[in-house]
A and B are shown apart, each in its own frame.
Chain A
Amino acid sequence: MVASPSGERAADNPTRRGTALRLIAGNRQTVVGLCALGAFAVVALLAPVIAPTPVNTQFSNSFAAPAAAHPLGLDGGGFDVLSRLIHGAQTSLLVGLIAALVGMLIGGTVGFVAGYFGGRTDGVLMRITDYFLVIPDIPLMIVAAAVFGQSLTNIMIVIGLVYWASTARLIRAQVMSVRQRTFVKRVEAMGASPFFVLTRHVVPQVTPLLLANTVLMVANAIFAETYISFLGLGDPSVVSWGRMIQDALDQGAVVAGAWWVVLPPGLAVTLVVLAATVAGQGMEDTLNPRLKVGHLAVRRFRVRPLHGALERPRAIHGALERP
């Protein structure tokens, strides 16, 4: 076999240390998505400070149109929509993040163990994963909410439990692929224990992909929380975007033509989920080159006109002039 040229480009080996960060930063998609997410996160964090009114302050004129005092108007119950939107951000993002973390922890662990140890362990774990993969997510969440109660914590756990399975599959595949690489076999042949190999070689190679997948899971989780709240199974004591949409429909905002009650929460969910998806996909594409399809594009090469047919000696002066 002929050797590949030395001086390989960064994109050929995204697992090199430090390169992952540089590559992600270089991907415009990812940067835009992460910035947008960051903006929402900042808003959520500063919710109590920047909301124009405390969330539970009730005003008298329900369905008041947007005006200077209430930039997004009032909803059917007389609450300031903007304040509710900002506080809702806190809930939705918090649930999304924690649920995604729960999913990542379970899925990541299962994936690492199944991928590394293989054999019967892998078989058993993957059957369990398959069960969770085929369970319809929304009905399960409905049942769980009904059985375990409608608290925020329960929702986070339930969402994590539903979505960990696809992460487990992805991580398992990646771990198995890393395990076959020559440098891992070399170290195993030297007598390294499985724990040594896992922690020092496999985890560092797979973690960037796990993080990318977690970002994607945040998108799923936020959407799931919105769905649950919209169905009325969310935590009744907190404001969330899904709840806002549900309230809007309950209060007859559509009939009243009060678009400022229905549109903002829906738009907010869409934007956050979009930002997370774009960022996560960008990261995954960068870190998993096989997902790219750029090489399938039709080839078009550029031709330069012929400059002079004869070879002339290329004497380079300047740099080599002796003083």
Chain B
Amino acid sequence: MNAPLLELVDLTVNYPLRGAGIPGRSGRPVVHAVEGVSLTLDPGQIVALVGESGCGKSTVARAIVGLQPATSGQVIFDGTDLTGLRAGALRPYRRAIQLVHQDPYDALDPRMTVRAIVEEGLRIHRVPRGDRDAIVHGALERVGLTPADWVLGRFPHELSGGQRQRVAIASAIALTPRLLVADEPVSMLDVSVRASVLGLIEDLRRDGLAVLLITHDLAGAVTLADRIAVMYFGRIVEEGPVGEVMDFPAHPYTRALLSAIPSPDPAVRTVPDVVPGELPDAVHPPAGCAFTSRCPVAEPRCGEHVPPLRELGSGHRAACVLPVPR
């Protein structure tokens, strides 16, 4: 069996609460953004990391690409643990792992032409000058921005949101990465454009690229993911092949998410399967399952310990102590 391309082992990211506490003293309040997240990604696979805002999914993305140091745990890429590496040793991995950002309107330097933007990565990684032109052309055509010659001389403000996002993707694939981390790549785009950009990301899989798609849009994620991992309050609460998870959601939170997606059929009134409640305090996390305060089927034992991920068969796991309705 092939080794996974990316393996997150018990990844934990805490960061100190700004301004609180006395610097240098231990016991300074920390925000537990990500707690013990483990995830694997095989080459050519698309895994969706789904959750609502504040669940820690963007922090996971930043930790993978090195923008955020991990507090503990490992980020193993192609067999090498990236968490211990220093800046110099990390460099080749900054080429192999590329991040696509959420905001296409701020992701491109407004003072640079498309050509300069796409070429920039090549410049940073010292790709020979003679090769750059062909690579830039190729990247733009690959993302569907043709004729490439017309687009090369444009500035970002002359392009639509969807086009800008394609330029951002082109600048990423110009470096022939092996892993693309897409953090909410279409949430700021018009609905009519989203499908084509997601389709492009799925198409990149043909080039051997693996994709970690981070999103809060469950419905959108399902259209291209092979596996789906649902995050809540810094932990993965359910994980498995996308068909399995969608048809047989095992965790009450996944069921709540599915029930809350507005049905386009007006005869069906969407009522979220959740108890009105608030997220727990990220600085003082509860001892038990974090979803207890909003769970429609919570029992007293849910508050005792954080439930571990239980195997449910065929690669499907859920972190809930209650029996799964089938």
Contact = CB atoms under 8 A, between A and B. Distances in A.
Do chains A and B make direct contact within the complex (CB under 8 angstroms)?
yes
Interface of A: 1-4, 6, 8, 13, 15-17, 181-183, 185-192, 196, 201, 204-205
Contact of A182 (B103, B125, B171): B103
Contacts of A205: 111
A15 B110 CA distance: 7
B124 A186 contact: no
B107 A182 contact: yes
A177 to B, nearest CB: 12
Contacts of B98: 189-190
Contacts, number: 73
Interface in B112-161: 112, 120-121, 124-125, 155, 157, 159-161
B157 A8 contact: yes
A204 B124 contact: no
Nearest to A9: B157
A4 B105 CA distance: 8
Contact of B124 (A4, A13, A15, A191): A191
Contacts of B6: none
B95 interface: yes
B120 A190 contact: yes
Nearest to B113: A17
A191 B95 contact: yes
Given A183-B106, A189-B67, A190-B98, A16 B120 contact: no
23 contacts: A1-B188, A3-B105, A3-B190, A8-B157, A15-B111, A16-B111, A16-B155, A17-B155, A182-B101, A183-B106, A183-B107, A185-B67, A186-B99, A186-B101, A186-B168, A187-B124, A189-B98, A190-B95, A190-B125, A191-B95, A191-B124, A201-B109, A204-B111
A303 to B, nearest CB: 31
Contacts of B121: 190
A6 B159 CA distance: 7
Given A3-B189, A185-B67, A190 B111 contact: no
B120 A187 contact: yes
Nearest to A10: B157
Given A182-B101, A185-B67, 17 more contacts: A2-B188, A3-B161, A4-B105, A15-B110, A16-B157, A17-B112, A182-B106, A186-B101, A187-B120, A187-B124, A189-B99, A190-B95, A191-B91, A191-B124, A196-B124, A201-B109, A205-B111
B110 A13 contact: yes
A16 B159 CA distance: 14
A205 B189 CA distance: 26
B234 to A, nearest CB: 22
B182 interface: no
